[in-house]
Amino acid sequence: MEQRSYAYWQAWLKQRPWVLALGFFFLGFCSDLLLLRSIDSVPMLIQQGSYVVLLAVLILCDHHYGVTKTLPAGWVGRILARRDWVIHFLFGGLFNAFFVFYFRSSAISSLSFFVFIPLLVLVLALNELSMFRNLGPVMRVALWSFTCTSFWGYLLPLLFGFLSAWLFVLAVFLTILFVLGMWYLAVHFTDDSKWNFWKAVAPSIGTQVLLLTLYFSGFVPPVPLSLKWIGAYHEVRKPDGTELLYIRDGFRFWEKGAQTFLARPQDKLNVWMRVFAPRRFKDDIYVAWKHKDEQGQWVQTDHIQLKLRHSGQTGWTGHTHKVNWLPGAWKVEVLTADTRLLGSIEINVHADDSTHPREFSLDKR
pLDDT tens sequence across 83-137: 777 787 788 788 888 888 888 888 877 777 788 888 887 776 666 666 665 666 6
Query: Is residue 312, in this structure, part of any structural domain at all?
Result: yes
Range with the largest mean pLDDT of 36-45, 77-86, 120-129, 286-295: 286-295
Based on the domain organization, do 247 and 103 belong to the same domain?
no
Choose one of 157, 191, 216: the last residue of a domain.
216
Based on the domain organization, do 193 and 260 belong to the same domain?
no
Query: Is residue 1, in this structure, part of any structural domain at all?
Result: no
Indicate if the pLDDT at residue 179 is higher than 80: yes
Query: Is residue 205, in this structure, part of any structural domain at all?
Result: yes
Based on the domain organization, do 198 and 231 belong to the same domain?
no
Query: Is residue 335, in this structure, part of any structural domain at all?
Result: yes
Based on the domain organization, do 135 and 200 belong to the same domain?
yes
Based on the domain organization, do 284 and 201 belong to the same domain?
no
So what's the pLDDT on residue 184? 85
Distance, CA of 359 to CA of 160 (rounded, Å): 47
Query: Is residue 182, in this structure, part of any structural domain at all?
Result: yes
Model confidence over 213-234: pLDDT tens digits? 999 988 899 999 999 999 999 9
Query: Is residue 221, in this structure, part of any structural domain at all?
Result: no
So what's the pLDDT on residue 2? 47
Kindly state the percentage of the chain with pLDDT values over 70.
Answer: 80
Kindly state the percentage of the chain with pLDDT values over 90.
Answer: 42
Based on the domain organization, do 10 and 153 belong to the same domain?
yes
Residue 187, domain extent: 6-216
Q: Are strands 341-351 and 260-263 parallel, antiparallel or unpaired?
A: parallel
So what's the pLDDT on residue 1? 39
Based on the domain organization, do 231 and 141 belong to the same domain?
no
Based on the domain organization, do 264 and 189 belong to the same domain?
no
Based on the domain organization, do 136 and 274 belong to the same domain?
no
Based on the domain organization, do 239 and 210 belong to the same domain?
no
CATH number for the domain including 249? 2.60.40.1930
Query: Is residue 12, in this structure, part of any structural domain at all?
Result: yes
Choose one of 196, 216, 236: the last residue of a domain.
216
Number of separate domains in the chain? 2
Range with the largest mean pLDDT of 32-36, 50-54, 100-104: 50-54
Mean pLDDT across the chain: 83
Indicate if the pLDDT at residue 31 is higher than 60: no
So what's the pLDDT on residue 104? 86
Based on the domain organization, do 44 and 168 belong to the same domain?
yes
Based on the domain organization, do 310 and 203 belong to the same domain?
no
Query: Is residue 210, in this structure, part of any structural domain at all?
Result: yes
Choose one of 182, 197, 216: the last residue of a domain.
216
Burial of 131 (0-12, 13-18, 19+ CB in 10 A): exposed
pTM, two decimal places: 0.81
Residue 304 pLDDT level (bands cut at 50, 70, 90): very high
- Mean pLDDT (whole number) for 271-297: 93
